[in-house]
Structure 1
Amino acid sequence: MNDLSKQLYESELLLKHLIDSSYDGIYITDGNGLTTWYNKAFLRISGLTPAQLDGHTVFQLLENGWLPNSVVAEAIQKQKTVTSLIHYFNGSEGLISATPVFDDAGHLLRVIANVRDLTELNELKRQLDETRALNEGYRQTLQEVQSAELEGGQMIYRSHAMEKIISLANKIASTDTPILILGESGVGKDVLAKYIHSISERHDKGTFVKVNCGAIPEHLLESELFGYEPGAFTGAGRRGKAGLFEVANKGTLFLDEIGEMPLSLQVKLLGVLQDMEIQRLGGTKPIPIDVRIIAATNAHLETLIQEKRFRKDLYYRINVLTIQVPPLRERKDDVVALLMHFLNQFNEKYRTNKILTSSAIDKLLAYEWPGNVRELKNMVERFILTSDKDSIDEHQLPFNLLSFHRTSSAIVNEQDFTHSYQRKKLKELLNDHEKQILSWYLSKYRPLKRCAETLGIDLATLVRKKKKHGL
C-alpha cells in the first residue's frame, strides 16, 4: 500500500511538472466550472492572478469582469469540445480549446482547456516577415551599391549630391590641374582623391601618395616631402632619402589637412607648383618632377588667410578646381548604402551574418552623424562585434546615438509647449503628455507586456490608460 501511495505521489508530481513546463497555457475546472488546476503559462497568457482563479468558477470570472468570454463555460453548457479565439484584457491573444471529460456514466468530471499564445507567435511572424523584407531590401541595395562600386572604385553613394561630385571628378581626372577638396572631417575626402587618381592616366604610370600635413611634426615634414642628401642634418641617413614628391613622381601626391602646413613649407610648395621641380635638403641640384597635387582640408582657408596662417598666393594656386563634399547629414540617401556596404564588409571580415532591423535603420537615418562616414563605419564595426544577436535593433545602438534622439525629442516637446500648451491647465497638460508618451511607446514596443515593462508600470495599469486615452 505504501508503494502504491508512493507511485501515485510520484505520478502526480511528474504530471504537475509536465503541466508547469508546458509553453501552452493549461487550465482545468471540475464539472461545475470551479478552478482546480492551472500552470504558469496560463497566468502569463491570460494576465490573471492566482487570487482571481483560486476558489472561483469560470462563471464568477465572467461576472467579475476578469474574462472577456469563456470557452470553458461554453464547453460545460454544450457538453462538447469548443475551440475559439480569445482576446484577454492584458492585450494578449490566444487560441483556446476546452475539452470536457466524462466518467463511465456520462457525468461531466472536469474540463481541460489548452491555450496557445498567438500574441508571441504573431510577433515572431511579424519579425520574420520584417527580416525577409529587410533581406530583400539589403539584396537590392547591395546590387545598387555594387554597381556604383564598379563604376566608381570604392566610392559608395546613392545620393544626387554625390552623383554630381563623381560626375565632376570624372571630368577633371584626366587633367593635371591641382584640385582642392573641401569638407568636414570624415566625409571621405581621401577616398575621393584616391578615386580621381584611379581613373586618371597617372594610375598606370605612378603611385598615389598620401601625407597628412597635420600629423607630421614641422621639423620632419620638410624632409618627408622633399627628401635629403647624405649628411644633410644630424641623424640623416648615409645614403640620403627620396622625398614623397619623388616617390609620387608620375603619380598623385595627396596633401591632406593642407591648412595645417607651416608657412615656411607653404612657400616651398608654391615654388614646386610653379616650377615642377624640388631640391632635397642639403642638395644643390634641382630635381624635375611630374606630380599631380590634390589637397584637402576641413578648415576655412579664407579665415586662415585673414589670420596670416595661410598664404593667399598658394590658395589661388591650389584653388583652380574645387570640390565641396557635403556632410553625411545632408545626403541621407548615402547612409543606407554605406550601412549595407560596411555591414557586408565587417560580416565577411568577422564571419558573422548580422542585419539591422527597420527600427534601427530609422534611428540611424535620423542621426546627424557629426563624424560623418568615418563615424558610421566605426559604429557598424562596433555593433557587429558587440551585439549578441544576429538581428540588431534600436536598443543595441550606441548610447550617444540614443541620447541624441532623447535630446531631439526634448527640443520638439519644448516647441510644442511654446506653441500649443501655454493656455492649458496643468491637468490638461499632464493628460496630453501622458497620451503622447503612451502613443509613442505603444507604437514602438510590442506586445503590451513588453511596453508595460519598458514604462515601468504593471500591465493592468497600461491597459486601463490605453482605454482611457482611446489608443
Structure 2
Amino acid sequence: MRGELLLHLYATRSREQPVQFDGTRYRTLTFLKDEDGLFSHLIFQDDLFFDLYNVVERSYDGISMTDVHGVTKLVNGAVERYTGIPREYFLGKSADRLVTRGFLQESVTAKVLAERKPVTVFQGGTNDQQIVMTGSPLFNDTGEIQQVVINFRDISELVYLYQQHLQEKQVNDYSGERAEHQDVEMQQISSMVKRVANVDATVLFMGETGVGKDVFATELYERSRRSEHGDFIKVNCGAIPMDLLESELFGYEDGAFSGAKRKGKPGMFELADKGVLFLDEVGELPSTLQVKLLRVLQDGEIRRIGGTKTKFVDVRIVSATNQNLREMVKDGTFREDLYYRLNVLPIKIPPLRERKNDIDWFAQHFMDQYSRKYRVEKTYSEDFKIWMRAYHWPGNIRELANLIQRLVITVPDMMIDVRHLPADYAKPVQDGGDNLLKRAAENAERELLERTFAEHKTTYEVARALNSSQATVARKMKNYGINV
C-alpha cells in the first residue's frame, strides 16, 4: 500500500512545505481528482517520498502507471524524451483516448487487463526510435488488478550498445579460436552469423552432411546474449527413436507412461529456457511433432506429456538439415507453415569441394589438434596438400577430420604423404581420370577469368560479363590466386 500511495503522490508533483511532528518531517500531498471531481490528501514522511521521487524521475527508462480504467496517474521525464510528447498530455487521460488522438499506437494497459500478465508492445518514437512498452499488472489482496506499471525502452539504442559490447568482447574472447575462413563466401557466412546472433528469430542452416552446420549453430549461441543466461541444447531429430522423441523434447509428468521417472522429467525445451535449442536433422521430425513444434513457435508454450498445465519457455530455435525442405513441403512430408517459421533466417553452407581455400586451414587445424592429443609431430608433403585440394570430399569437413586423425595415428613417418593414404582413397588418385578432368576444367576457368579481368577493371564488371555474381567471381579469383 505504501508504494501505491507514493506513486499516486508522485503523480501530483506536489511541492507543499513539509511539517514537523515528533522530530520527523512530513509533507501534505494532494492526489489527482477522482471520477467525482474530489481531491484526496495524504500526509507522508518527507525524506522517503523524495527518495522515491528521485528514483522514478531519474530513471533512464520511461516509467508510467495507469489505473484499472487505463487512466494515466504517473509519468516520468524519460517518457517525454522517448515519445517527444509532454508528460502533461498523458496525465489524467485514458489510454484509449491517447490512442485515438495518435499519441500511442496501441494500449498496453488494455492487453494487460485482458491477459492478466506482463505484456510487451512496440511503439514508434522520435528520430527512428523503436520504443518497446512493457506493462506489468499490480494485484491487490483479493487478486484483482489495481494498477498497471509501464516501462518504456528504446530497443534500437539497446541493440546498438549491445552490438558494440559484443564486438569488444569478441576481440578478446574469440581471437584465434574459430575457423579462419579463407573462402570469400564462407567469410560472408561468418559475418552473417555474427550479425544475427542477437536477433531472436529462427535460423535454418542448410548444407550437406559434415559441412559444419552444428559448428555455426554453436558459434551463433556463443556470440549471443543468451549464452549468458541459458544453455545450448542440441537434439538430433534423426538419431532418437520416434516414440521417445516427444518425451525428450517436451518432458513428461509423473505416471505419464510405464517406466516414467517419479516427479517427471523436464524436456529439452525447458532445459533450453533462456538459451538456444538446436534441432539437427529437423527434416526427420514426424508429422505429429511438427504440429507441436509449430505451436511452440507460435505461442511460446509447452505442455509435458501427461500434464494438464502449459508452461512458457523463452527459447530461440535454431535448426539444421541436409534435406531439401522446400521439396518435402511439395511432397507433403513437411508442413509448409512450419517450414516458413523455421526459415526466417536461412543460411546455406557450401560443401568443402566448393571452397578449396578452406582446406589448407582445416587440414593444419586438425593436424595441430591431433598431434597435441596423441603427442606426436607430423607435417604434410606438398604432394599430399595437392591431393587434398583435388579430392572431392563427399563427407566434407567431418571426412577430412577423420582422415587426418587416422593418418596421425597410423603413419610412422614424420611426414604424411600420398602413399600413406588408405586404399579407399588411393585408388581414385591412381586412376587419375576424375582428377585430370577436374584440373582441366579448373584451368579453363582460370584462363577465362584472367582474360575477362584483363578487359574489365572490377569484379562487378567481370561478373556482368560472365553472367555470374560478384561474390562467385571474387571467390574463384581468390581460389586461383588471381590478383585484383
Instruction: Quickly name the TM-score band, shorter chain normalised.
Output: 0.5 to 0.7
Question: 2:282 is matched with which residue?
Answer: 258
Runs of 4+, deviation exceeding 4 Å? 410-416
Q: How does 1:202-213 map to 2 (within 5 A)?
A: 202-213=226-237
2:417 pairs, out of 373, 389, 393, with: 393
Match of 1:224 in 2: 248
- 1:304 aligned to 2:328? yes
Indicate the RMSD between aligned Cα atoms, in angstroms: 2.1
Match of 1:372 in 2: 396
- Preserved contact between residue 278 and residue 287 of structure 1 (Cα < 8 Å): yes
Quote the offset at 1:302 in angstroms: 1.3
Look up the match of 1:53: none
Give the distance between the partners of 2:314 and 2:389, measured in 1 at CA.
44
Give the C-alpha shift of residue 160 in structure 1: 1.0
Using the alignment, how far apart are the partners of 2:172 and 2:417 within structure 1?
28
Decide whether aligned partners of structure 1 residues 205 and 395 sit closer, same or farther in structure 2, where only a CA change above 3 A counts: same
From 155, 162, 169, give the equivalent of 2:193: 169
Query: Which of structures 1 and 2 has the larger relative contact order (alpha carbons within 8 angstroms, sep 6+)?
Result: 1
CA shift, 1:397, in A, is 1.7
Cα deviations across residues 312-362 of structure 1 (Å, max 9, x unaligned)?
000011111000000000001110000010000000000000111111111
What amino acid is the match of 1:272?
V
- Percentage of identical aligned residues: 47
* Distance in 1, Cα, partners of 2:252 & 2:433: 58
**1:269 is aligned with what amino acid?**
L
What's 2:304 paired with?
Answer: 280
> In the alignment, what sits opposite 2:459?
none
Kept in 2: contact 1:148–1:156 (CA 8 A): no
What is aligned with 1:189? 213
2:374 aligned partner: 350
Give 1:305 deviation, angstroms: 1.2
Matched, 1:406 2:437: no
CA–CA distance in 1 between the matches of 2:359 and 2:256?
50
Q: Distance in 2 between matches of 1:178 and 1:207?
A: 16
**Post-superposition CA distance 1:171-222 (Å, at most 9, x none):** 1101110000000000000000000000000011001000000000111000
Give the drift of 1:407. Answer: 4.1
Q: What's the CA shift for 1:412?
A: 4.4
TM-score by length of 1: 0.55
- Corresponding pairs, count: 270
Q: Secondary structure at the match of 2:198?
A: coil
Q: Is the 8 A contact 2:429 2:435 kept in 1?
A: no
Change (3 A) 1:319 1:182: same
Residue from 195, 208, 225 that aligns with 1:201? 225
Deviation at 1:149, TM superposition (A): 9.3
Spell out, residue by residue over 1:392-417, the C-alpha distance to the aligned partner (whole angstroms, 9 max, x if none).
1110122222222234426848999x
Output the CA distance in 1 between the equivalents of 2:262 and 2:438: 69
The letter of the residue matching 2:344 is: V
Aligned to 1:363: 387
Change in Cα spacing, 1:177 to 1:410, as seen in structure 2 (3 Å) is closer
The equivalent residue for 1:150 is 174
More helix by share: 1
CA–CA separation in structure 1 for the residues paired with 2:420 and 2:205? 35
Look up the equivalent residue of 2:401 and give its one-letter code.
K
TM-score by length of 2: 0.54
- Which residue is equivalent to 1:289? 313
Cα distance in structure 2, aligned partners of 1:183 and 1:345: 25
Query: Shift in Å at residue 153 of structure 1?
Result: 4.4
CA distance in 1, matches of 2:355, 2:435: 23
Distance in 1, Cα, partners of 2:434 & 2:332 = 42
